[in-house]
Structure 1
Amino acid sequence: MTDFRLNRRMFGLLAAGAAASSLLPSMARASGGLVAATFPGSWEDAYRSVLTPLVKAAGYDLTVAPALSQDQLTKVMASPGAPAFDTLLISPGQMATAIEHDLIVKIDPTRLKNWSKLAPAFQGEYGPTVTVQIDGIVYNPDLVPKPKGYRDLFENPAYAGLVSWTGFDSNTAVMAYTQIAKIFGTGPEDMDAVFKLFKDSADLRAGVTDTTNHQMALYQQGEIAVFMGSTNNVAHLKSLGLNADFVQPETGSPASPVNIHLTKGSANVDAAYAYMDAALDAGAQATFQSPPTEMFPTNADVELTPNISSVLTRDQVAGLAYPDWVSINKYRDEWTSTFIALIAS
């Protein structure tokens, strides 16, 4: 199992990679193209291959710049007058922060021809929802039994030393920890109950890594068998020929809509709307339903695949449970600092 010293080296490598990737926006900016921030990995590959020709057909150049949600905000906040990205791809936790810091603007729905194809829940005033991520537990059925929920991971010895966790920079992790806080504490904000679990277990602390991408790598190497992830993570692992299954915890699966936002100060507004429309295109979203991405399509004209509908149907969308991100963001920095200090101790 990877220890925290390796994790800190990984943080350094990630920082170096982030510095290198920061050149992408400036290079694209110099060429006058739209710079769209997108999650690294399968998201980046899918958006680059599928959306680039659609945006090109609309008359614009597109540069897909990979960056995690927190990194997107950090880079835009560093140069608010000349944002590093024309559009952001983030979830509600970061959207609340972006609105608070005046980093994104409300959109004009009349400029999106696919707007009418979206259910009201997906018609965000700060940008359309392009998919909904369902989070839960990813596990390897070859190595461990199917968990019922989060409690199993702490109390069943079958999982000892095989579960990986990550920090509070991850939306997936935050949503899991709020659920765990309800199980072992007094409610979703009782993070002291979660910290106590890690303080009392060296195995749990040893299982902490820096990012979900690192967890995916450890999973592929057989070093871990369980991590907090999404249906998209399972689809990607399966595309690599690995055995992976998804569990919706008995306490429920937190849902996280993913939206495209127009960055305040973008010099490529017309291109940004063309890019949003491309991401909502029925053909594009039908493609994104396939492995290794398997994204839920928000365009109502797209028929759901059996794999997608087994996790979420359109009738279930209205009943999805979304965490209170405004409340979470009040404590997130404090939780992050406490968790880092705990793991490093």
Structure 2
Amino acid sequence: MVHDMTTMKLTRRQFGFLAAGAAAAGLLPIPARAANGSMVAATFPGNWEDAYRRVLTPLVSQAGFDLTIAPALAQDQLAKVMASPGSPAYDTLLMSPGQMAIALENDLIQKIDTSRLANWSKLDPAFQGEYGPTVTVEVNGIAYNPNLVPAPKGYADLFENPAFAGKVSWTGFGSNTAVMAYTQLASIYGSGPDDMEAVFKLFADHPENLAGVVDSTNSQMSLYQQGEIAVFMCSTGNVAKLKSLGLNAEFVHPETGSPAAPVNIHLTKGSANLDAAYAYMDAAISMAAQEQLTLPPTEMFPTNMDVALTPGIEAFVTRDTIPSLVYPDWAMINKNRADWIRAFDALVAG
């Protein structure tokens, strides 16, 4: 697996997008800077936040440190750290390659000392990044309710098959899950993965899909539970969570291939809590943690080679199929993302 680290600099437009994210995040409680012997770890909100607080907090405590889990989307993590690089809001970041490229090119993260990670050798070499370990690979596709709709063949089916009209929810280009789906739609209906004009036209020609645009996957999860939607773009973890709640939910690998995003922990430059940060990072890749995280309601793919895949995970992906998943060109996405966000938001607003 190759993490494409093509160089790119943060443009003024991109910084404006991130700053807006920071302003919005500023409305939420901001974790206090960690004192000696403790640290603040950024994690994604929702399922990730709950799982990491439940599983990693006691493991880090056993190592002698206090752990504060701070939920934030990746773009908001970037914005907060960029707003105060000398005193970063987080000691570690949780990101996929798209945001990692921005963090690296803006000098927000540092190379790790792998000798401080007792579990480093347990990782498949593909998951041993010089800027931090890969803790899972999120496999993306389509969630659907078999009580309400047939199994979709892929992304195009959601626009072309009348059975899905008015029952599909989408999110904006700030979502990695969404943008990976949109690059595939751009290849289907346009000249390639960067031809978003074809995607915008597709939505304009199918206004019922525009009506289903919401702000986040968490919102889609709530709408699904309430029976207000039957289909949305998701990771396998989202479906595992829905199943754990007793809901009828199934996952479809799109016929064009399942987009995938490695999820990495990064050490923030300027962290004053390195001992605690390394203890947290080591806990996240440990067998003790990853065995728990393979179970419902998370069912995360384990990157520790000593952890067996559960039948639930193997129903979606195996170690042999991981390299064959679709890994997007994040340098291309980052270059265009701010313009895509603005154009799509305008389309949704009418």
What is the TM-score of this pair, normalised by structure 2?
Answer: 0.91
Aligned to 1:344: 349
Give the C-alpha shift of residue 33 in structure 1.
2.2
Q: Is residue 84 of structure 2 the alignment partner of residue 87 of structure 1?
A: no
CA contact (8 A) 1:21 1:66 kept: no
Pairs within 5 Å for 1:1-345: 18-24=25-31, 26=32, 28-29=33-34, 33-345=38-350
CA contact (8 A) 1:85 1:263 kept: yes
Q: Deviations over 1:180-233 (max 9, x none)?
A: 001111110000000001122221111100111011111111110000001000
Give the C-alpha shift of residue 261 in structure 1.
0.3
The CA RMSD measured in Å over matched residues stands at 1.5
What is the TM-score of this pair, normalised by structure 1?
Answer: 0.93
**2: CA distance between counterparts of 1:41 and 1:161?**
26
Deviates more, 1:195-204 or 1:154-163: 195-204
Alpha-carbon spacing, 1:102–1:51, altered in 2? closer, same or farther (3 Å)? same
**What SS is found at the alignment partner of 2:344?**
helix
Give the structure with the larger helix fraction: 1
- 2:231 corresponds to which letter in structure 1? V
- 2:30 corresponds to which letter in structure 1? L
Percent of residue pairs identical: 70
**1: CA distance between counterparts of 2:25 and 2:339?**
24
**1: CA distance between counterparts of 2:30 and 2:341?**
28
Alpha-carbon spacing, 1:188–1:16, altered in 2? closer, same or farther (3 Å)? closer
**What SS is found at the alignment partner of 2:34?**
helix
**What SS is found at the alignment partner of 1:315?**
coil
**2: CA distance between counterparts of 1:62 and 1:264?**
18
Which ranges in structure 2 are unaligned for 5 or more consecutive residues? Answer: 1-20
Which ranges in structure 1 are unaligned for 5 or more consecutive residues? Answer: 1-13
**What SS is found at the alignment partner of 2:69?**
strand
**1: CA distance between counterparts of 2:221 and 2:24?**
18
Aligned to 1:4: none
Give the C-alpha shift of residue 272 in structure 1.
0.7
**1: CA distance between counterparts of 2:121 and 2:53?**
25
Q: Deviations over 1:285-331 (max 9, x none)?
A: 01001111110000000011011112211122333331110111000
How many pairs are equivalent? 330
- 1:172 corresponds to which letter in structure 2? T
Deviates more, 1:313-322 or 1:323-332: 313-322
